[in-house]
Chains A and B, each alone.
Chain A
Amino acid sequence: MTKLTGMVSALALTFGLATSASAETSMGIVVKIGGIPWFNAMEDGITRRAEELGVTAEMIGPVSADPALQVQAIEDLIAKGVDVIGVVPNDEAALEPVLQKARDAGIIVISHEGPGLENVDWNFELASAEGFGEAHAKLLSDKTPEGGTYAVYVGSLTVPLHNAWADAAIAWMAENRPDLEIVGDRYGVAENVDDSRSTALDLIAANPDLKGFLAFGSQGPIGAGRAVEERRKTGEIHVMGPFSPGQGRKMIHSGVLTGGFMWNPAQAGEVFVTLGDMLVRGETLESGMDVPGLGVIEPDADARDIITDNLLEINASTVDDLAEKGL
């Protein structure tokens, strides 16, 4: 028993010191899963911004991406009596009852990547589907001054977000660059490196005037890039799309990959704290306001959505920093 007592008191000492006074604004942000680079970066953002504003904010990252664990974490936060609960949902529907409970208890609820949630004060996004697709289309247009053809990848034909990006990109290209034509329809291969590579090899062989790949899906740019490298078409065929900076770092530096866009999880973490602090102080969000981290906002008051385009470009000068952060 003494061993046990020792252990418990050691625990008490460790955590007893961590508790703080409850007079100031306190926030708890529940993310999809803890311990992965994306949400570690978000936690950094949360901590940094909380220090700047002089509020208490903690991030809770469940040990697995199970909505049941998110519900429990939110219930604990309600019991703790925080002023603001932030959430990046695993499953929107499963969180509605507990978020309603939180709002009934007078807690402000903010979500990120949860556009369908109803029981929230505000949901914010750092990238709109149109903005994200168009940014990639513009990049392609900049890199290929002369006409030709280009191919579009999506992760899978049933991924709604990827297809929304592709729709926006194709529409922008059709309007602004009629001389650059799309090859076939979009290809649902971008969640697999090998499929992306072999499809790219076929496309390069079949279309001598191919100028670029728009690959939406994390493995698409990598696979297409490898095909371009194998065919020694570096510089002639441009590959762009969102991908993991750590994975694509070398290919960016060798010029096989042109680049792409992502949004910054650390910035999302900061925005959680900024918005929470504003709402606790009773400020209302209005069209045209300049919110740090979001820029000038145009909130959709009916859907409770704030959608902005705060894209982070992945290119030769930014990729190393992003990769260092483990993204």
Chain B
Amino acid sequence: MSDTRRLPGLKGFKHLKTGGPAGENLSLLVMLVLLVVVFAIASPRFLTGANLGSMGFQMPLLGLLTLAMLAPILSGGLNLAIVYTANISGLTLAWTLMQFGGPEAGIPAFILGCALAVIVGALAGAVMGGVVAYVGAHPILVSLAMMIFLRGLGEFLTRGGDISGFPDHMHTLGHGSVMGIPVPLILFAVIALGWHVLLRRTPHGFSVYMTGSNLKAAEYAGLNAKRTLVLIYTLSGVLCAIAGILMAARFSSVRVGHGEAMLLITVLACFLGGIDPFGGHGRVAPVILALVILQVLSSGLNLVGANQHLSTAVWGLFLIAVMVLRSGQIQRYIGLLSRKDT
């Protein structure tokens, strides 16, 4: 990460302000490579197919939820309801499958269930987006309210118990592999690519970034910021629903509260991936790198037999380290810039 390598890339202030995407990726990549080397030395089993496969099965769920968190953060908000939206969507799928005979339910029933789950997720998101955009309430409050509502609703409907007994083809979605690549990972890759394209290559994505940087300015510039907000929370809800479907397939059961622990980790992954907590800046690729790093840390520490609490502590340390690293970069940029101006 020497200055000489960076200089040719510096074209102007705007480029710097967006965080130098290549640099963001590079610093995370360096960190990832370091970690992989360290764990490969510490445990001979780290670089085996079994471990890589295991990580490939584990990461997508957190990954989908993180992408669902990412878009609202880009728009300057937050979605605290992601896990419970996923749970409620999963319950919708489970309920549909139960209507078609549980374990005997066919593929059409599964597809119908998924469609209904996505609709429920989208609806939950749309309501949040609507309240954020048109009532002007703070996204933290709105999504917190939605989280409490969905949790209560789910617990009321299931009485805190779980629904299980799903058809076998769902097992393939949660635990199958195609040519050695875990199915959940393929699903995640496709969705992440779609999410990237949506955010970086479409007018809607542009308007998300603009709304996130400055809502008022975006409105004065003629963007329909309110519609953008509703749409982004709706899409976030859809991603939660997909995560909920995957969760149902992975655990063969649905219960309100499955995956609760992931909520704050998704926020961690977003910030580790260089998303601006105040909205407007950040990309999908570094967030995915951040997810891989978190997964490598978690699986690696498990492999060498470290305490689970220690691994969360290490996650926290990494976030702090990354922030320190970044602030150093920013200072250097500012230094370079002022030199250029004078």
The chain A residues found within 8 Å of chain B, CB to CB, are 1, 3-5, 7-9, 11-12, 15-16, 18-19, 22, 34-35, 58, 60-64, 66-69, 71-73, 75-81, 91, 93-97, 101
Query: Residue B162 contacts which of A4, A66, A94 (CB distance < 8 angstroms)?
Result: A94
Closest to A104 in B: B175
Q: Which of B143-184 contact A (CB under 8 A)?
A: 162, 164, 171, 174-175
Contact, CB under 8 Å: A63 / B308: yes
Contact, CB under 8 Å: A64 / B260: yes
Contact, CB under 8 Å: A66 / B261: yes
**A-contact bits for B57-73, CB 8 A (1 contact / 0 none):** 11001000000000000
On chain A, the residues within 8 Å of B325 by CB distance are 1, 3-4
Once A4-B321, A66-B258 are accepted as A-B contacts, the answer to whether A16 and B304 lie under 8 Å apart by CB is yes
Contact, CB under 8 Å: A8 / B162: no
Once A16-B41, A71-B251 are accepted as A-B contacts, the answer to whether A4 and B31 lie under 8 Å apart by CB is yes
The chain B residues found within 8 Å of chain A, CB to CB, are 1, 30-31, 34-35, 38-39, 41-45, 48, 50-51, 53-55, 57-58, 61, 162, 164, 171, 174-175, 247, 250-253, 255, 257-262, 298-299, 301-309, 312, 314, 317, 321, 324-325
On chain A, the residues within 8 Å of B30 by CB distance are 1
- What is the count of residue pairs linking A and B with beta-carbon distances less than 8 angstroms? 139
Cα(A126)–Cα(B150), bound, Å: 38
Interface of chain B, main secondary structure? helix
Query: Residue A79 contacts which of B42, B45, B174, B253 (CB distance < 8 angstroms)?
Result: B45
Interface of chain A, main secondary structure? helix
Contact, CB under 8 Å: A68 / B261: yes
Query: Residue A3 contacts which of B41, B43, B45, B321 (CB distance < 8 angstroms)?
Result: B321
Contact, CB under 8 Å: A94 / B261: no
Contact, CB under 8 Å: B42 / A76: no
Contact, CB under 8 Å: A79 / B51: yes
Contact, CB under 8 Å: B53 / A79: yes
Contact, CB under 8 Å: B305 / A62: no
Once A3-B321, A18-B305, A93-B252 are accepted as A-B contacts, the answer to whether A63 and B50 lie under 8 Å apart by CB is no
Once A71-B251, A76-B54 are accepted as A-B contacts, the answer to whether A15 and B301 lie under 8 Å apart by CB is yes
Q: Could you tell me the distance in whole angstroms from the C-beta of A306 to the nearest C-beta in chain B?
A: 24
On chain A, the residues within 8 Å of B317 by CB distance are 7
On chain B, the residues within 8 Å of A71 by CB distance are 250-251
Cα(A152)–Cα(B271), bound, Å: 54
Contact, CB under 8 Å: A73 / B174: no
Contact, CB under 8 Å: B42 / A19: yes
On chain B, the residues within 8 Å of A67 by CB distance are 251, 255, 258
Could you show 17 A-B contacts with beta carbons less than 8 Å apart?
A11-B38, A15-B42, A15-B305, A18-B304, A19-B304, A60-B302, A61-B307, A66-B257, A68-B247, A68-B251, A69-B308, A71-B251, A79-B51, A80-B45, A80-B51, A94-B162, A95-B251
Cα(A285)–Cα(B258), bound, Å: 35
| Top-7 shortest CB links A-B | A93-B253, A79-B54, A93-B164, A94-B251, A76-B302, A15-B304, A79-B51
